[in-house]
Structure 1
């Protein structure tokens, strides 16, 4: 260790205090030069802890330099009160020699804060697991479970499996506050906690905190409905939106069946309310507008409830609830008097993010009609292109400003309109971005500016802030990225001269550099580059960057290769590397994955399961490793299967047959994978029915919801044997599935047994059933009133076969609304005649369609028609 001449340092205790969290910008030399008296003084300050809690972007080198100075200045680093004073420096504590268990536990307790660090989580987890093993010396895990703070997240499933139910019960007060659990861990802990109870009560569930998400759907469904009603009101309700849809459905079905439903409807808050089916809402009475304030609504629910409540409440009451704006139809907007409309407009503006493009289009036409002089300029965007001519002079700034804020999907609908809008924006900017003010004004509009504009029209003064804003863009074209790279190099110079700070500033755009440039940065600042790589998403967007990160980590690894005969000379992945690499784990060879040791696999399987880029041979290697570690397939527990994530796709249909698939919760997780083949999907479906002892006709709505995309593998006889009541409760979820046309046709027939013949469906029904509308035949489609066309869900439009889609009349097509018109596929378009194509263009443009909706419009309440039982 170098002793610097201390007398020369300007960094006094007082200066450190003034620097606050900016103390992280001191250099290593300056830190090592701080006099020991000043460090001692600084750590003794009352607010030192508070200040050290804020240094979330400190690097390991600097943190260790501070720790070294604090240690040399006479503080006992093993003393609990010193440990408490270290703030986030504790995350880099590295003196483990002969530490006793109590100190390890004190450190673990302080390390809860470490998830605030910007990066270095792999190092933190490594440190936690070292401390964990010290804390557990001469103790059983059962005894000390409650005193390990959030390091319990680092326990493997086999360690958790070895716990006794009593230990979990006793430690529940700690366990329920921990975040960052993997799904499989939560399943194990919940089943331990629940196993000592015969039937779950409200009291038990409310003790569980985040662990409630691991309670099986069946256990929730077995609870007393009155206790369940308390659960959805109680403190646990904040975790209910994290439950899988099948679990939510289990709770709702039980309450709905109990006859206590109407009082519960008022109690069900937040996102949970969205799971209530339309047919269940129809059966209830006693709604009022004020009870809607705390609920999140699906559009189908909002259409029904708005229409129902508008009979006794004023538009102001309804719109001020927020979510109910989703249920406003064009007819409602049309029928408002001028004053009422201008007074309620503020509610629409406040909830723009909840409105569909069709509703915004209706608003724009209404505003144009009653007061074209004061129309908010961004509404001109959704009108046909010629209305953009009204934007000029004094309207320019408000036009751009409101566009940048509202995040209206500019890319919607048609290409020529998008180009006209971009043209107008460039005109309003006088053809250039002059300074930060312009960048600020543009907001996310900058993402859509053409490459040529980025190339020549952004002044050097505006470049830095323009790049910061561009970093937030979701989808930039290849040409835009080429220009951005050119501006980056112009601003920051050659990457070989960049600092770690510059690299962080450039952030995800680092992926635009060449392999050579990336190698230079990865060599100089491996940690920084790793940190950035974690934020860039799937492999397709940043292959070079991720492979650079992988290579730089491999070269840094000093572990000797393995000596096992089948792995001779192979370097196996460690759990720290797997954590660091995230999506870059795709670069391990099949041989390296085969050589992972059992403990590492147990610790990392969940993470490896989230890697979307593995090819089938890599997944097969990991599947075989799972058999080696967990034993033969029939022995696998539910939590094993769940923890596989994408790796499960490697299971063959014969392997699937061997698994125990009795639990709908296992199925819920498997059905989230979208890449199953039809034969695999059939195997999972059969396995579930056999292992749970059910037939299609005994399936409950929560089983249907849990099966999700696997329902697409049903044949028509099976679909017909689903119970109508169960189908109707799950229909909105089934309407999210993208199944083949024959399956959708069968679902459509089932839907008619719930909502009556297709000819009688209204807007809220069309919204409710989603893609199932893709199963309508030619005559049924032709018979729909043109005013119902905007109420097809956009995903349903794509599912209508081209030969049936062409049966729509030009009037029906003109009324699709901008969003649905934008969903029309090329093969659907190719079947249309000239008149139909002209109508499609009108819909894309947001042209005014003929008369306002008549009374047989979108959401006329069907008072007489209740769903069939």
Structure 2
């Protein structure tokens, strides 16, 4: 809808001009058809939307002729309405802004339409065809209007609300449901607030009700728990009313009603499920689509799942029958009838349980059921015989069970094993060894097909040196390959010399990573504007420096159509070029980007946010404003969140704030205060409130969370499981820990070691549920962990990032108890231990058998080794393997990883150049000491030449190795290379060397590298250098193009399609202009 108002205005404006230009002043007595007369009156009244709708309605049943333009103008003249082109244009543009950037105004306009106009508007939304409105020389693309209407922030909400208010009184209910579906799907479901269901009709025809139910089912996962409950109540209210049964003893939950409920069947109460008649549940489970429906009940609870299983058992379906098991969907995850179950049925159940990983929680119970079924499935059969039929339960096999497999069994089951996800690295190591023992995998023979044939992510591992030697590249072969930035820089430069069509390179997948500022500068105005969409579609692949170059180019050639968000990458003062009248498009454009990756300097970001606050007047008035803000909501100051977001806007804002991953401490305090004001303390929350506010539970204290841990342990644990990969606050983890401990079945530890009597130790189920909250176990509890529990959960414990050194030492001691001393440990032991290996002392590391580079590689995955530990690992490998440094191959160097930093200068000098050049990029990720990096730099010179010969791709490839440059070498680097340092290399440059950069070199660093400068490095700089650094942080230009002051009047170019004053149209990403003017139009 974003350009629809623009189209009304320009359509009518040009229509009138066309009439004047073609026919001049007409006889005012000429008759005008009533609908066009009404349209003319609306033009006079300023009701331009109404006028457009009347025009569309008239055109749908009449052929537009040239004399009609003349007659409309004549009518206007007869009413003494004198239009001049400038005055009419000003009026139209003002209305454009109101409609386009004030969606609440559009809502009011739609409310003011009569029934016929409203019907026309809805029909325009409903049509699938890409229809056009043809009026003599003027064409309006209604299909594009409809597309934009369903994608525009704020406008989409206006359409949703007006459809609810008026559609069911004006249009066929089926049509209204279709419109609601389109608008809701465009909103990702966040329009579905609980109060919305109160506005839904309760007397819908059956077909319309079923269609709308499908929409709600499709949006289930994007809908809040409160809204899910509200939609469920609305659906069941209609289903219960329409139930034909008059006997209260007969359940309203029929087979068809279960099908209509779909995902919402999980909201049925236990009693309602148990009252379903055997006939109806049998009929439901016999439906062909029942399995598909039951496959999606991800949030079903064990209690309700078992109730459904019981009712199915009461029908004529035998839940032990293979065909029935195939129909159960996710209900199999809670199968509990294991008594006298035979092995064949157990294997079928295991195969069906692959889908259980999609459940929201309850994974500990699933793992236990799999283990029980695994035992039954392998009863009276060897593991070798059943391996291929155990489905993904094989990931539950212990190391000893996997070690007992014969190579032939692994080889025979390899196709099944390859389809299973969830393997631990240690299991993969064992199975790979078994497989290779059966069938030796030959090394690649003829490599004549060349590097060009390497596919996907593997291509990223090709060295820059090898790319130099490969002649067979073109843009087509690169489209599906993942590229490092150094590869892209080299390949783009290479191919740009032979390719004259920019779109071939810019559309070649990740090759766009290699666009340099010089390439952007060299593009003509027409070429740049025509191909900007390729950059726009790949902003996530571009560096901040590349985006800054695009911004400067746009500012120079066509600032009148410049996407507003690009202004944020220019020096802060350029934001002054955004007038107050253009605030909303600026907010929309910036809200669609990721501000943290767009603006890296905190001071500059504050300037951008000040402009945002100025545009908002420090308040968020309503839900339309929330829509317009988009991602900017995550950056609003705490004061605005606490007091500036109106009650009307808060529910919508809260829904969006859930997705903000990096709120500041002040913002978190503000959100917490608002939550307390609206919902009270967590002890008073309902289950739905707790689900909806799950991401915010980390904001509350342990005491405040204790009631949640008691009342809703499953919800708390599900919330914690969604935070995998983050480090929640200790108090939140403690609450999760208490909830698991309170709900787990107490059982004394099986460990009979001294000191373990009466100690509460974790079970494997507890460890699965706790995840990061395992950090709350006392060391003595971990030491008393049972052997079986340790073996089943060691990988999970090894992944916990919050363990203290004392806890890691305790778990290491447990590993020694179970596996004996480190001298007996094998590679898979070390892999499974994860971070626990960090507790190994230097003497214990020396005990390890490090003859295999795979073993060393598993250790090098950890990045927290002390220098002494790293040296022990390196020396252990060289001694145990019998290799000398000069014998090391490229894969050895990669496997050694961070332990390479423990090499001395003499050892580094012995590395073969032929091996080093293959893994330069990998070594360039290491954060080694300066003297080590300097020695690697000397080796790089043998491969790539001296620093004065390096290109941008070489500097990017070297990574941290470039931090080994001397003062003299750094000073000699061309300033144009400065943006191609990796930020990690900038951080590694010693302070006394970094200060040797000239002010000009520092100015050319680019925003990303300037942001990487450390406080210690900054303290060494002169005033002039600091000014240059600030210029780089600001995104100041580093080229000699025209730099007109921000207040300069916008430049216009023939390629610019935007009308005067509408400099933001491209920034909204609206695609091609909706209005196409034919050549005969007279201005």
Question: Does the alignment reach a TM-score above 0.5?
Answer: yes
Distance 1:500 1:78 in 2: 35
Q: Does 1:183 align with 2:183?
A: no
Report if the CA contact (8 A) 1:496-1:517 is conserved: yes
SS of residue in 2 equivalent to 1:644 = helix
Deviation at 1:36, TM superposition (A): 2.9
Q: CA deviation at 1:677?
A: 0.8
Structure-2 change in CA distance of 1:326 and 1:562 (3 Å): closer
Shift of 1:852: 7.0
The superposition leaves residues 404-459 of structure 1 with CA deviations (integer Å, 9 ceiling, x where unpaired) of: 22314267333332112112222333432233332232222211111001011112
The alpha-carbon deviation at position 690 of structure 1 amounts to 1.6
Using the alignment, how far apart are the partners of 2:467 and 2:813 within structure 1? 48
Distance change in 2, residues 1:575/1:562 (3 Å): closer
8 Å CA contact 1:129, 1:154 repeated in 2: yes
Partner of 1:625: 814
Greater Cα shift, 133-142 or 69-78: 69-78
**Kept after mapping to 2: 8 A contact 1:319/1:325:** yes
Provide the secondary structure at the position in 1 that maps to 2:611: helix
Alpha-carbon distance in structure 2 between the residues aligned to 1:836 and 1:560 = 67
Q: What CA deviation, in whole Å up to 9, does each residue of 1:686-724 have, x standing for no partner?
A: 111122221111111111111111111110000111111
Q: Which residues in structure 2 correspond to 1:532-551 (within 5 Å)?
A: 532-537=719-724, 540-551=727-738
Superposed CA offset, 1:520-561 (max 9, x none): 111111111111112235785321121112122223333332
Q: Give the aligned partner of residue 414 of structure 1.
A: 601
User: Equivalent residue for 2:330?
Assistant: 88
Secondary structure of the residue that 2:592 maps to in structure 1? helix
Kindly indicate whether the alpha-carbon contact (under 8 Å) linking 2:282 and 2:312 is maintained by their aligned counterparts in 1.
Answer: yes
Separation in structure 2 between the aligned mates of residue 562 and residue 159 of structure 1, nearest angstrom: 23
Are 2:414 and 1:225 aligned?
A: no
Partner of 1:311: 497
Does the aligned pair in 2 maintain the 1:104–1:131 contact within 8 Å? yes
Q: CA deviation at 1:627?
A: 1.9
- Contact kept, 8 Å, 2:545 with 2:979, in 1: the verdict is yes
Q: Distance in 2 between the 1:669 and 1:400 partners?
A: 47
Equivalent residue number for residue 382 of structure 1: 569
> What 5-or-longer segments of structure 2 have no aligned partner?
1-246, 1043-1083
Contact kept in structure 1, 2:827 and 2:858, CA below 8 Å: no
C-alpha change, 1:160 and 1:832, in structure 2 (3 Å) is same
| Equivalent in the alignment of 1:461 | 648
Q: Secondary structure at the match of 2:361?
A: coil
Matched, 1:11 2:269: no
Please list every run of at least 4 consecutive aligned residues from structure 1 whose deviation after the TM superposition is greater than 4 angstroms: 537-540
What's the secondary structure of 1:561's corresponding residue?
Answer: coil
Q: Larger deviation: 632-641 or 53-62?
A: 632-641
Q: 1:434 aligns with which of 621, 624, 627?
A: 621
Distance across 1 between alignment mates of 2:419 and 2:407: 18
| Residue 774 (structure 2) aligns with | 585
Q: Which residue of 2 aligns with 1:834?
A: 1023
SS of 1:43's equivalent in the other structure is helix
Any idea what SS the aligned residue of 1:85 has? coil
**For 1:225, what is the secondary structure of its paired residue?**
coil
CA distance in 2 between partners of 1:717 and 1:165 (Å): 44
CA contact (8 A) 2:749 2:786 kept: no
Instruction: Tell me how far 1:824 sits from its aligned partner.
Output: 1.0
Equivalents in 2 of 1:495, 1:11: separation in Å?
34
Query: Matches of 2:260 and 2:354 in 1, distance apart?
Result: 26
Matching of residue 784 in structure 1 with residue 970 in structure 2: no
Distance, in Å, in 1 between the alignment partners of 2:386 and 2:601 is: 63
The 1:795/1:441 distance shift into structure 2, 3 A limit, reads same
Q: Which residue of 2 aligns with 1:231?
A: none
- Match for 2:484 among 285, 289, 298? 298
470 and 225 in structure 1: CA distance in 2 versus 1, 3 angstrom threshold:
farther
The 8 Å contact of residues 539 and 584 in structure 1, kept in 2 or not, is answered as no
Name the structure 2 match of 1:372.
559
Q: Distance in 2 between matches of 1:850 and 1:321?
A: 27
What is the distance in 1 between the residues matched to 2:496 and 2:415? 47
Q: Return closer, same or farther for 1:495/1:9 CA change in 2, 3 Å cut-off.
A: farther
Please tell me the root mean square deviation across aligned C-alpha atoms, in Å: 1.9
Which deviates further from its counterpart, 571-580 or 632-641? 632-641
Q: Kindly indicate whether the alpha-carbon contact (under 8 Å) linking 2:568 and 2:599 is maintained by their aligned counterparts in 1.
A: no
Give SS of 2:918's match.
helix
Query: 2-side partners of 1:565 and 1:541: how far apart?
Result: 33
> Could you tell me which residue of structure 2 aligns to residue 269 of structure 1?
455
Question: For the Cα contact (< 8 Å) 2:564–2:586, is it kept in 1?
Answer: yes
1:369 Cα deviation after fit = 1.0
2:591 is matched with which residue: 404, 422, 429?
404
The aligned residue for residue 323 of structure 1 is 510
Instruction: Give 2:883's match in structure 1, choosing from 694, 701, 706.
Output: 694
- Is the contact between residue 450 and residue 470 of structure 2 (CA under 8 Å) also seen in structure 1? no
Aligned position for 1:216: none
Question: For 1:325, what is the secondary structure of its paired residue?
Answer: helix
2:341 and 2:1033 mapped to 1: Cα distance? 70
Secondary structure at 2:450's aligned position in 1?
Answer: helix
2:299 is the counterpart of 1:57: yes
2: CA distance, partners of 1:411 / 1:829: 22
Contact residue 539 and residue 613 of structure 1 kept, 8 A? no
Q: Whole-Å Cα distance in 1 between the matches of residues 903 and 1041 of structure 2?
A: 42
What is the deviation of 1:393? 4.5
Distance 1:270 1:397, change over 3 A: farther
What CA distance in whole angstroms lies between the structure 1 residues aligned with 2:347 and 2:482? 42
2:744/2:766 contact within 8 Å kept:
no
**In the TM superposition, what is the alpha-carbon distance from 1:462 to its structure 2 partner?**
2.1
Aligned partner (choices 273, 277, 282) of residue 40 of structure 1: 282
2:660 to 439, 459, 473: 473
What SS does structure 2 have at the residue aligned with 1:541?
Answer: coil
Q: Which runs of 5+ in 1 are unaligned?
A: 202-222, 227-254, 854-869
Q: Is the 8 A contact 2:930 2:963 kept in 1?
A: yes
By relative contact order (CA 8 Å, sep 6+), the higher-ranking structure is 2
The answer as to whether partners of 2:956 and 2:980 remain within 8 angstroms in 1 is: yes
Single out whichever of 33-42 and 698-707 deviates more from structure 2. Answer: 33-42
**Which has the higher mean CA deviation after the structures are superposed, 577-586 or 621-630?**
621-630
Is 1:761 the counterpart of 2:950 in the alignment?
yes
Q: What is the alpha-carbon distance in structure 2 between the residues aligned to residue 716 and residue 672 of structure 1?
A: 24
Q: d(CA) in 2 for partners of 1:141 and 1:105? A: 12
Q: How many residues align?
A: 793
The answer on whether the counterparts of 1:6 and 1:33 sit within 8 Å (CA) in structure 2 is: no
Task: Please name the residue that 2:1064 is paired with.
Answer: none
Tell me if the contact between 2:749 and 2:785 (Cα under 8 Å) persists in the aligned partners: no
Helix, strand or coil: the match of 2:249?
helix
Q: Deviations over 1:310-332 (max 9, x none)?
A: 11102222112132222221111
Please name the residue that 2:639 is paired with.
452
Question: What do the CA deviations read for 1:56-93 (whole angstroms, capped 9, x no partner)?
Answer: 11111111121122223343221112222211111111
Task: Tell me the distance in 2 between the aligned counterparts of 1:626 and 1:517.
Answer: 37
Q: What corresponds to 2:742 in structure 1?
A: 555
Partner of 2:163: none
- Map of 1:165 onto structure 2: 407
Q: How many angstroms apart in 1 are the aligned matches of 2:894 and 2:753?
A: 48
Give yes or no for contact 1:322–1:347 (8 Å, CA) kept in 2: no
The equivalent residue for 2:375 is 133
Answer whether contact 2:930 2:988 (CA < 8 A) is retained.
yes
Query: How many Å apart are 1:397 and its aligned residue?
Result: 2.9
The 8 Å contact of residues 810 and 836 in structure 1, kept in 2 or not, is answered as yes
Task: Kindly indicate whether residue 1004 of structure 2 is the aligned counterpart of residue 818 of structure 1.
Answer: no
CA contact (8 A) 1:536 1:542 kept: no
2:792 aligns to what?
603
Note if 1:742 corresponds to 2:931. yes
TM-score by length of 2: 0.71
